[in-house]
């Protein structure tokens, strides 16, 4: 994984097409290493999440090319490598796991449900309303809290109560969320360790109950 970090550090400083084309062999080596890691991670994930069995792990990575159509930043390449694992593929409208590799200790694992559509969001909120005890039990689990100490990420959240729910609802802070994601960061040193795939999988195993709750909600 060290060669991945090295390439990403380099492209962060040289984010242009000319440099990329000149160094494409280095990129392809880094991509191969990332795909190898995804394959190793997938084997670990299958030990506790059989829903991922049909996936080809080497196709779960996201493209390095940025979509710059609606961005002020016209840098053509991402400065990270990422991949998503969920039953249907890459976490598209379903709960799953996302691994993100980025130098300077910015690598992380995220899991849960990212930006569910209106219908699924309504179902998740309803499930939290009906089964608050089961939901909060997951978040309060000792190992879960140790792995994801910040709880649900606050990046995508309403400022007021969602329509149909009281402003003094006991689960209001959870109901405000529009995404239901938790994250765990890794240092560059951890990323470079031989057991990194197992370490990521262990964190995934810890968050699986959250994914299971969300899957049940939208089923």
In this predicted structure, what is the pLDDT of residue 217? 97
Biggest CA–CA distance in the chain, Å, is 59
Domains of the chain in start order, with CATH, are: 2-218 (3.30.930)
C-beta neighbour count of 213 within 10 angstroms = 22
Q: Is the pLDDT of residue 202 over 80?
A: yes
Span 104-130, mean pLDDT? 96
Q: What is the pLDDT of residues 145-161, one digit of tens each?
A: 999 999 999 988 999 99
User: Regarding predicted confidence, which is higher, 89 or 132?
Assistant: 132
pLDDT-derived band at 73 (thresholds 50, 70, 90) equals confident
In this predicted structure, what is the pLDDT of residue 55? 94
In this predicted structure, what is the pLDDT of residue 90? 72
| Distance in angstroms (rounded) separating the CA atoms of residues 152 and 101 | 21
| Distance in angstroms (rounded) separating the CA atoms of residues 53 and 46 | 7
| Distance in angstroms (rounded) separating the CA atoms of residues 108 and 105 | 8
In this predicted structure, what is the pLDDT of residue 23? 95
Q: Which two tokens stand for residue 190?
A: 């951890």
In this predicted structure, what is the pLDDT of residue 216? 96
Nearest alpha carbon to residue 180 among 159, 216, 156: 156
Q: Which two tokens stand for residue 4?
A: 């991945």
In this predicted structure, what is the pLDDT of residue 89? 80
C-beta neighbour count of 31 within 10 angstroms = 17
Element (H, E) at 81: strand 81-85
Q: What is the pLDDT of residues 23-46, one digit of tens each?
A: 999 999 999 999 999 999 999 999
| Distance in angstroms (rounded) separating the CA atoms of residues 53 and 122 | 29
Least confident of 48-52, 85-89, 133-137: 85-89
3-state DSSP percent of the chain in helix, strand and coil, to 5: 50, 15, 35
User: Which DSSP category does 159 fall into?
Assistant: S
Element (H, E) at 107: strand 107-113
pLDDT-derived band at 15 (thresholds 50, 70, 90) equals very high
Element (H, E) at 186: strand 180-186
Q: Are 27 and 50 in contact (CB under 8 A)?
A: no
Q: What is the pLDDT of residues 74-114, one digit of tens each?
A: 899 999 999 999 998 877 789 999 999 999 999 999 999 99
Strand partners, 180: 113
82 phi, psi to nearest 5 deg: -140, 160
Proportion of the chain above pLDDT 90, given as a percent: 92
């Amino acid at each position: 994984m060290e060669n991945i970090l090295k390439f990403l550090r380099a492209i962060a400083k040289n984010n242009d097409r000319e440099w990329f084309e000149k160094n494409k062999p280095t990129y392809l080596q880094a991509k191969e290493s990332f795909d190898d890691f995804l394959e190793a991670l997938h084997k670990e994930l299958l030990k506790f999440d059989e829903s991922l069995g049909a996936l080809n792990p080497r196709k779960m990575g996201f493209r390095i090319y940025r979509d710059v159509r609606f961005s002020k930043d016209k840098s053509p390449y991402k400065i990270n490598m990422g991949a998503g694992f969920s039953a249907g593929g890459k976490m598209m409208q379903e709960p799953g796991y996302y691994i993100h590799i980025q130098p300077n200790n910015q690598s992380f694992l995220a899991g849960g449900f990212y930006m569910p559509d209106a219908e699924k969001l309504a179902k998740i909120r309803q499930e939290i309303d009906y089964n608050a005890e089961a939901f909060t039990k997951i978040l309060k689990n000792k190992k879960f809290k140790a792995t994801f100490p910040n709880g649900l990420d606050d990046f995508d959240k309403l400022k007021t109560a969602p329509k149909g729910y009281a402003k003094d609802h006991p689960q209001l802070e959870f109901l405000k969320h529009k995404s239901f994601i938790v994250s765990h960061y890794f240092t560059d040193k951890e990323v470079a360790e031989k057991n990194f795939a197992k370490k990521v999988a262990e964190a995934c195993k810890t968050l699986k109950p959250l994914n299971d709750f969300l899957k049940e909600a939208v089923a």
